Amino acid sequence: AAATAELESQTSWLYLGGEQGKRIQAIVNRAVGHSPLAAFRAWHAYLEEHLVFPFAATVVEYQRGPVRQGARVTVLAITFLDETYGTIVAVKHTHGVNELPLCDLKATEADTETRQLVEDYAVWFANR
């Protein structure tokens, strides 16, 4: 049973097919343990290592507060890891600086790796 669980955890994202599934699986495989929090920590560490700031993004999910869906923002930095909302980032917009879940953003003006990484993270977060 333990071997089956280990194998499933190391291949569960390959169903997405193509390169995206492989990229997501490689990051999930960095997790120490199989808990949801372990996967969050693996993603958070990877994002801290690889995202290039600042970058422009659009809010793609409904938000309460001053930053609404469709708003264009500049992502400044990763601020912390939340056990419910995942990686939280500081964003600058017309009303000042706020914090939003990274999974609610789409990178629009960023280098290719950053755009791809934000998209991969959002897909993982929505399907975890």
Number of domains in the chain: 1
**Helix (H, G, I), strand (E, B), or coil: what is residue 67?**
coil
Region 6-34: mean pLDDT is: 80
- Separation between Cα atoms, residue 27 and residue 60, nearest integer Å: 23
Tell me the whole-structure pTM to 2 decimals.
0.88
- pLDDT for 7 equals 44
- Separation between Cα atoms, residue 84 and residue 81, nearest integer Å: 9
From 35, 30, 75, select the one nearest 52 (Cα to Cα). Answer: 75
CATH number reported for the structural domain that contains residue 9 in this entry: 2.30.30.530
Which of the two residues, 34 and 101, has the higher pLDDT score? 101
- pLDDT for 34 equals 84
- pLDDT for 4 equals 46
Structural domain of 13: 2-127
- pLDDT for 5 equals 46
Region 110-122: mean pLDDT is: 97
